[in-house]
Every structure is written in C-alpha cells, then in structure tokens.
C-alpha cells in the first residue's frame, strides 16, 4: 500500500524542499522504499539539497514526454537503500507538465515504491496544482511567521475547496527561546488560527543550512534536533504514536539526559 504525499506551503523559503529531503531519508532509514519527486520545474533544488545534482541524466519532463522510462529517471541515493529522486527539469517551466500527467506518474510510482514524496513549488498556480493532483495526503508546512501562516491558511482553503481533504501541519523553524520571550508565534497560536492537525514541530537549527549546503540533509544527522524532528514525523506517517518533542529543552545532550532522568 503505497502513499503519495505532497508538501506545500504557499509561501516560498519556509523549508519545503529541506523537509522533503529529510523525510525521504527518515522514511528510507526505516527500511521503506521512497521516491522524492521535485515538482519545482524550472527552479529545481531538491537534487542539490540531496547532494545528487551530478547524477542527473533524465528528469520528470523526460518521463512525462516519453523520452525515457520511469526507472531511468529515478536516481538512487547511495547512502540509503530504497531512496530515490526524480529531479525536475531546469530548462522548462511548470506548463511542461499537467495535473493529469502527475496523476499518471503517481500511479506508476505506486508500483515501484512505498512512499512518493512530492515537493511542491511556492505559490498556488500551475506548479502547485500539479503537485497536489496525485496526492493521497497533503502536508502543509509553515514557519511561525504571520505572512507564512496566512499563506498556509490560503493553501488549506484551496485544498479543502479542491476536495483534497484537510491537510496536516508541519511547523518548521520554531525558536523555543523566542517563543518563550513572546517574540515569535507559538505552535499554539498557529494551530489556533489554522485549526488543522499537527504532525510535526521542527525547531530552528543552524545545522540545517550547513547540512543542505553539503548536500547531506539534516535527517542524516541523528544528533541534531531538527533531524530528530523529521524522524519523528516519518514515524507518525507510518502510524506510530510519537509524543511531540519538548521545545523547552535547550538541545544539549546533558539537559536532555537530566530531563529524561528527572521525568521518570
């Protein structure tokens, strides 16, 4: 039973691509067969974040236009068995693919893997429509910023109108210190407005950027809190009941141990 999941946000730069790469790694490291599909045709990034940019021969448009077979466009990530990438075309635009093309592609991919993760471009136009067309489930990702939350709200409204069901929420780049000082929206504030189910809270973590620049998504680093958060989301996608991370703790190993010891 494979599942097609699309991550979208409305606003750009909130971390969709990073989240796709990390979720792909987290699911694959649990023994799942996963393909990450870059839906951002013309502005492809997922290949860079995953560190696979040198291995692209065919891309999604080649598949759709029949210049190669599906498997030829699936780049295997050598770090983990069962992790693949279908890159976007860089020299075309969103109109090169239609929502029905994406649905056909999704149905074909169901036979190949357990999870299809689709990275949606920012916006609510054609690229977004393409990305959500084949999805069984949509995850809306947002930052605790008013502008990002409002865009997320808009996107949720569109998803509901298109009868895609109510999406789940990933809240990315939460800075617990700033939340505590009331300088940032808290997860509760965001949920209060969006009124959908939360599936993950990812703390702000500088190592995410470093990891992305190295082409080694943060989920490969199990020490990092952000990486751990993505592993938790993957576990929840697989139906496990994982409690949400305690944002109060500062992230040092020692505080984590003492907290653990203190609670039990």
**Residue numbers at the binding site for another protein (CB under 8 A):** 99, 150-151, 153-154, 156-158, 160-163, 193, 195
Closer CB to another protein, 91 or 100, in the complex: 100
3-state helix, strand, coil in the chain (%, to 5): 45, 15, 40
C-beta of residue 16 within 8 angstroms of C-beta of residue 8: yes
CB of 156 to another protein, least distance (A): 6
Rounded Cα distance, 181 and 119, in Å: 33
Q: Residue 237, Cβ neighbours under 10 Å: how many?
A: 22
Q: In angstroms, give the least distance from the CB of 174 to another protein.
A: 20
Nearest approach in angstroms of CB 148 to another protein is 11
Residue (70 or 198) nearer to another protein, CB: 198
Whether the Cβ atoms of residue 172 and residue 14 lie closer than 8 Å to each other:
yes
Give the nearer residue to another protein in terms of CB position, either 154 or 180: 154
Indicate the residue among 17 and 142 with the shorter CB distance to another protein.
Answer: 142
Q: How many CB atoms within 10 Å of residue 186?
A: 17
Q: How far is the CB of 104 from another protein (least distance, A)?
A: 15
Are 196 and 140 spatial neighbours (Cβ–Cβ below 8 Å)?
yes
CB 254, min distance to another protein, A: 42
Strand residue runs (E) in 74-233: 75-76, 83-86, 115-119, 137-142, 168-174, 198-203
Cβ closest to another protein, residue 163 vs residue 241: 163
């Amino acid at each position: 039973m494979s599942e097609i999941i699309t991550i979208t946000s409305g606003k750009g730069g909130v971390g969709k691509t990073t989240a796709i790469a990390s979720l792909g790694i987290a699911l694959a490291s649990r023994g799942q067969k996963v393909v990450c599909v870059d839906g951002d045709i013309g502005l492809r990034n997922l290949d860079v974040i995953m560190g696979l940019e040198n291995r692209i021969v065919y891309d999604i448009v080649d598949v759709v236009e029949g210049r190669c077979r599906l498997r030829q466009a699936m780049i295997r990530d050598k770090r983990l068995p069962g992790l693949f990438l279908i890159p976007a075309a860089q020299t075309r635009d969103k109109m090169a693919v239609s929502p029905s093309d994406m649905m056909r592609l999704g149905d074909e991919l169901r036979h190949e893997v357990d999870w299809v993760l689709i990275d949606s471009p920012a916006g609510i136009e054609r690229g977004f429509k393409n990305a959500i067309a084949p999805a069984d489930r949509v995850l809306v990702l947002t930052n605790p910023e008013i502008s990002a939350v409002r865009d997320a709200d808009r996107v949720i409204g569109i998803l509901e109108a298109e009868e895609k069901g109510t999406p789940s929420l990933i809240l990315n780049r939460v800075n617990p210190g700033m939340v505590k000082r009331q300088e940032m929206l808290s997860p509760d504030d965001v949920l209060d407005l969006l009124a959908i189910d939360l599936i993950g809270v990812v703390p702000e973590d500088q190592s995410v950027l470093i990891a992305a620049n190295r082409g080694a998504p943060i989920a490969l680093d199990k020490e990092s809190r952000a990486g751990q958060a993505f592993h938790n989301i993957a576990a929840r996608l697989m139906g496990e009941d994982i409690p949400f991370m305690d944002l109060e703790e500062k992230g040092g190993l020692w505080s984590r141990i003492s907290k653990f010891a203190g609670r039990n």
